[in-house]
A and B are shown apart, each in its own frame.
Chain A
C-alpha cells in the first residue's frame, strides 16, 4: 500500500487534519473589491475621527506600518495618503456567510473564530486525496465566488494550522507535516506563537527565550512558574503538540457593544443619550442572534482610562429593549455625580440560559403588559 507522504495527510489514522483559513486583509479587501478607486491604494477601514481606530488595513497601507487596532491618528501620521473607509459590517457578514457555506461543503467541523477566519477539521477527507487538496479547493472557490483571496494553513493541529496560514500570506497556502512540525516550532520566534502577545513576548525575551527551541529547552515547572497556567500550553506547543479540538458550536458567552465618544461626557443627560445608540446596537444583536441574557454589564471608561464595570443579574432574561434600557440606566445612575469625565460607555449581556434541548438558549417570554 503506497501513501503520499509529503503532507499532513500522510499521517497515521489517529492524526488529525486541520485547516486554518484566513481571509487576507478582509474588511479592506472587501472595500477595494467594491470600489475600484480604492484598488492599489492604502486603505484603512475604521473611523478617521480623532479617536477612531483602524479596524483593518489593506496590504498597501500595511507597507507604511498601518496596523489594525492602531489609533487612526497614528495611522494617518505613518501614511498621509491613507484613505479611511467607514466599515460596512452588513456586507462583511454576508461575505462571511458565503465562505462559511463553502466550508460546510467540505466538513461539518467548522469553528469560526471571527467573520474572516475559521478552523476546519477535515480528518475524514470525504473522498478528497488530502487536506491540502481541500484547502486549495476552498481557496479557489472563495476567489471565484467572492472575488477575495484567502490564505490557508494545513497541519495536524490547530496551533500549527494557524501558524501555517500566516506563513505565505497573502493568497498563499502552507502545509506543516507531522515530521516538519517540531523543527518548525523550534525555529519560530516566540512573538509568532498564537497566544503570545507583545507583553508576554517581552517577558519571554527577558528570560532569554527568543524562539520555540528556547521554550522547549525549559522544564514544565519553569514555564508554569513564570507564566502560570499558560506555561503548560507553551510547554506543549513548543513540542508541536496541541490537542485542542475544532469546536463547531462555540457557545457564545456574551454579547455587547461600546462606544468611545468624540468629546468626553460630563452630564447624566449626555451619558444617557449616548447610551441609547449602544443599547440599540446590543438589542439589534440580541434580536439577530435570538438570544437573551440575564446579566447586564455596564462598562465605563473615564477620561484617564480608568475603567469600571457595574453589573446586575436578574432571575429571567432581559426580554425587551425598554427593559434593557431601564436596567442600563439603573446601572448608570449611581455613578453620578462624576469625579471625572466619561470617555467610553459599553453595554453587554451574558448568562444566556440553556434550553430544554440544551443546544440553544431557552428564552423566557414576557407577558405583553
Chain B
C-alpha cells in the first residue's frame, strides 16, 4: 500500500471519522482507523461498534492495500504537519509499520491487520429518502436537548424519528423526552419515507450527525431499516445501530385541553428567568411563576442564597395561576424558540404545560411543572 495525499483533505476526513473513536477502549483495534487505498482514493473508517463513519478522499494511489493505525495519533500527526503539505503514506509489509512522510518529517506507526476491523453489517436499508441539511439540522437542534441520559430508560436515550399524521398531511416527526420535558418537531414527509419504521436514533449518533452536517448544505440521503440507519453526507457515510426498544406513546402526555394561554416576549422571559435563577441553589432550581391579569411575576427563594423576583408584562386573560418550573428546563425550551413570542398553554400547577413557538408552528414543547 502506497499513496500520496494532500494534508488538508486528509485532516478534514480524519476530523470526521475519529470523533467516533473512544479514547479508552478494551478492544485495541477500536482505537484504530482503517485506511484502504485504491481506485484513486483513500477510504477512512472508524467505529465504536455502535456506529461507524466512512469517508473517501481523493489520493494518488500507487499501490492499493489496507491497514489500521491508531486513529487519534494519526489525527494528531496530520494536524501538526504544515499547511499544504503533501503526505506520503506507505506500508512496509515486512516491518508491519506504516510510514508517514511529509517534508523532513517521518513517522512510523504500529499497525493492526485490516481483516480484524469490525464492520456494522447494515444489511438492507429498505426505506430511503432525502432531507436538506438545514431541515435535518432543525430536527436535531430543536429536540436533542430533551434526550434522556438515564441509562435505565435506554429507550429514551435518543431521538424518535417516525412518520406521523397531522390533520390530513403526513409528516416526518422527531421527538425526544427525558420524562420531564418533551420536544417535538416535524416537517412534511419526504418522498420515500412512507412506511418507514419508527426508529430511535442514539444520542451519540445524533451528535455525530450534527457535527457532520453542521458546515454542510448538501442534501442528506437517509436509509432506514428496523435496526440500522445510514446517513450519506457528500463523501461521508455514517451508519448506526438503533436503540432496540419501544418509544413510549408520547401523544398521551401532550396536553390537548390546556386553555390558559400566556403570551410573553421570549427575550424578556429568558432574561428574567436567567436573572432570578441566579439565586437558586445549584440543584433546587425551581422558579415560581405567578400569573395574574397582564403580569407575570417570577420568583426564586433559596434559604441559603436569598431571594429574587422580577415582573414582566404578558398577555393573559384566564384565571390567576401559580406554577413552578425548573429554571434550566424553561431556558432550554425558550432558547429553541425562533419567534419573538412564546406561547404557554397552561392547565394547573400539577399538569403538563405546552409551549409553542410564535414563529414556528411545526415545533411544540411539553414541560412538567415542579410542585413548589
Interface residues of chain A, those whose CB is within 8 Å of chain B, are: 294, 314-316, 319, 323, 326-327, 330, 351, 353-369
Instruction: Give Cα distance in the complex from A364 to B180, angstroms.
Output: 8
| Additional pairs, 11, CB under 8 Å, beyond known A364-B326, A366-B180 | A315-B149, A316-B326, A319-B179, A354-B280, A356-B286, A357-B288, A357-B301, A363-B370, A366-B368, A367-B180, A369-B179
Residues in A with CB closer than 8 Å to B350 are 365
Q: By the criterion CB–CB under 8 Å, are A366 and B302 in contact?
A: no
* B151 contacts partner chain A, Cβ-Cβ < 8 Å: yes
* B150 contacts partner chain A, Cβ-Cβ < 8 Å: yes
Q: By the criterion CB–CB under 8 Å, are B368 and A367 in contact?
A: yes
Residues in B with CB closer than 8 Å to A364 are 180, 326, 368, 370
Q: By the criterion CB–CB under 8 Å, are B286 and A365 in contact?
A: no
Interface residues of chain B, those whose CB is within 8 Å of chain A, are: 149-153, 177, 179-182, 248-250, 252-253, 280-281, 283-284, 286-288, 299-304, 307, 324, 326, 350, 352, 366, 368-372
Q: By the criterion CB–CB under 8 Å, are B179 and A367 in contact?
A: yes
Residues in A with CB closer than 8 Å to B181 are 367
A356 is contacted by which of B283, B288, B304 (Cβ under 8 Å)? B288
Instruction: Give Cα distance in the complex from A357 to B299, angstroms.
Output: 9
Q: By the criterion CB–CB under 8 Å, are A367 and B182 in contact?
A: yes
Residues in A with CB closer than 8 Å to B250 are 369
Instruction: Give Cα distance in the complex from A174 to B271, angstroms.
Output: 60
Residues in A with CB closer than 8 Å to B248 are 369
Interface centre among A327, A330, A358 (most CB of B within 10 A): A358
Q: Sorted from nearest, which 3 A-B pairs have the closest CB atoms?
A: A354-B284, A356-B288, A362-B286
Residues in B with CB closer than 8 Å to A357 are 288, 301, 372
> What's the minimum C-beta distance from B89 to chain A, rounded to whole angstroms?
44
Instruction: Give Cα distance in the complex from A257 to B338, angstroms.
Output: 49
Q: By the criterion CB–CB under 8 Å, are B253 and A368 in contact?
A: yes
Instruction: Give Cα distance in the complex from A178 to B252, angstroms.
Output: 67
Interface centre among B150, B299, B369 (most CB of A within 10 A): B150
Complex A-B: 26 CB contacts under 8 Å:
A294-B283, A314-B150, A316-B179, A316-B180, A330-B151, A353-B286, A354-B281, A354-B304, A355-B284, A355-B324, A356-B287, A356-B370, A357-B301, A358-B302, A359-B303, A362-B286, A362-B371, A364-B370, A365-B371, A366-B368, A367-B179, A367-B182, A367-B253, A367-B368, A368-B253, A369-B253
Residues in B with CB closer than 8 Å to A355 are 284, 286, 301, 324, 370-372
